Amino acid sequence: MLNLIDTTIEKIFAQEKLEARLQTAWRKQEKRVVVWRPDSRRITVHHNGRYWYGSVPLSAKEVSIPRHWYPFGEYRESGDLDAAVELNIPWSNDKRVSGFFARDAETGAVYLMHDGGVGGGRKGVGRIPFLAWSNPELVPVAGGDGTRPAVVVAPVDGSSTVADVARFVQLAIDFKEAAARGETTTPQALTAQRRFGQYFDEFSGKKRRRRLEEVEYISRHGDIVRAVHDWRERTLRSNEAIFKDGYVDLGVQAGGVLREIYEVKSSCERQALYTAIGQVVVHDDTRNGACKRFLVLPDGEAIPADVARALARADISLIRFTLHGEKVRLSQPKL
């Protein structure tokens, strides 16, 4: 899981590691006029003959959200340089700035992240058009007042850092060229953008209180499985047996044949639901429809309409749980 880096000192430390990597590879340096709509500024840029970047701290006197400004673009020897994308890092934790740092909770590795907010003032350019056009893998980052989906641009201090940053810059360049050709305003492109917009709306509903609940649900996973076990045990027939293993939260066998399979998840977010559907489908090895499939999910959380249709097609039923102190209560479907 990735967590937002939210302290200024940690951001500065990550920024210094990132710049050390970039400057080692992009050794050339010069003063150039950098243009971003609707403004321009003469700054020092570092480049490798193909890509350039600038690094400028901007105070509250200069911008509404103080940040470290990181414009990147394609290098040319003469004329002004156009900023293809900005990988800015705000000193506050303001989502209006697209760049930020995040740490992997397991490995401690720090990554430069970007939420896809590619600007430029042209029709068909923006966060949703960019994400729909590039179709990157988005990962959730916990922190601030909710969970933020973003693209992993690069580790701040790794052997692939410079190449990964250059790849993202080129992606932004290609996107803007596609927008100039009208490829991001076609009916097909607009349909894809609406789907991405819905995806972001789902994420935006996950606020801090909801994340605290999810942490509790994760910590109570064993209690929830036990509640399903106890409920199912009360109606168990003489030829049936309950089991669980590393892949199945709970299952019921009859005569050695799988008859029921249960998967517990701590949220109704898409990734959790995709994983749960995959688990019950993969581990139902009966192949004849004889096994009943169940997802055990938090009560009060909506399931996206397209996922609900998929559950119906796959004949997967739902059990909802709520926590009341030490007790777990289940909505009990008919078996």
Decide which of 206, 227, 253 is a domain's last residue: 206
Backbone angles phi, psi at 38, to 5 degrees: -105, 30
Mean pLDDT of 206-228: 76
Decide which of 158, 188, 206 is a domain's last residue: 206
Q: Predicted confidence band at 333 (pLDDT cuts at 50, 70, 90)?
A: low
pLDDT at 334: 67
Do 175 and 295 have their domain in common?
no
Do 199 and 221 have their domain in common?
no
Residue 17 pLDDT greater than 90, yes or no = yes
Give the percent of the chain with pLDDT over 70: 94
pLDDT at 274: 94
Do 88 and 108 have their domain in common?
yes
The whole-chain average pLDDT of the chain stands at 89
Do 91 and 175 have their domain in common?
yes
Do 233 and 119 have their domain in common?
no
Do 148 and 292 have their domain in common?
no
Residue 116 forms part of a structural domain: yes
Q: Predicted confidence band at 205 (pLDDT cuts at 50, 70, 90)?
A: low
Residue 246 forms part of a structural domain: yes
Do 232 and 313 have their domain in common?
yes
Residue 192 pLDDT greater than 90, yes or no = no
Residue 335 forms part of a structural domain: no
Do 243 and 155 have their domain in common?
no
Contact between 69 and 53 under an 8 Å Cβ cutoff? The reply is: no
Mean pLDDT of 132-161: 87
The residue range of the domain holding 278 is 214-330
Residue, of 166 and 210, whose pLDDT is higher: 166
Do 257 and 326 have their domain in common?
yes
Residue, of 25 and 137, whose pLDDT is higher: 25
Decide which of 206, 238, 253 is a domain's last residue: 206
Least confident segment among 52-66, 81-95, 207-221, 295-309 = 207-221
Return d(Cα 262, Cα 130) in angstroms, integer.
38
Residue 6 pLDDT greater than 60, yes or no = yes
Residue 163 forms part of a structural domain: yes
Residue 190 forms part of a structural domain: yes
What CATH number is associated with residue 247? 3.40.1350.10
The number of folded domains in the chain is 2
Q: Predicted confidence band at 209 (pLDDT cuts at 50, 70, 90)?
A: low
Q: Predicted confidence band at 163 (pLDDT cuts at 50, 70, 90)?
A: very high
Mean pLDDT of 248-263: 92
Do 232 and 323 have their domain in common?
yes
HEC secondary structure over 93-147: CCCCCCEEEEEECCCCCEEEEECCCCCCCCCCCCHHHHHHHHCCCEEEEEECCEE
pLDDT tens digit string along 288-321?
Answer: 678 999 999 999 888 999 999 999 999 999 999 9
Do 239 and 271 have their domain in common?
yes
Does the pTM surpass 0.85? The reply is no
Contact between 165 and 112 under an 8 Å Cβ cutoff? The reply is: yes
Do 234 and 194 have their domain in common?
no
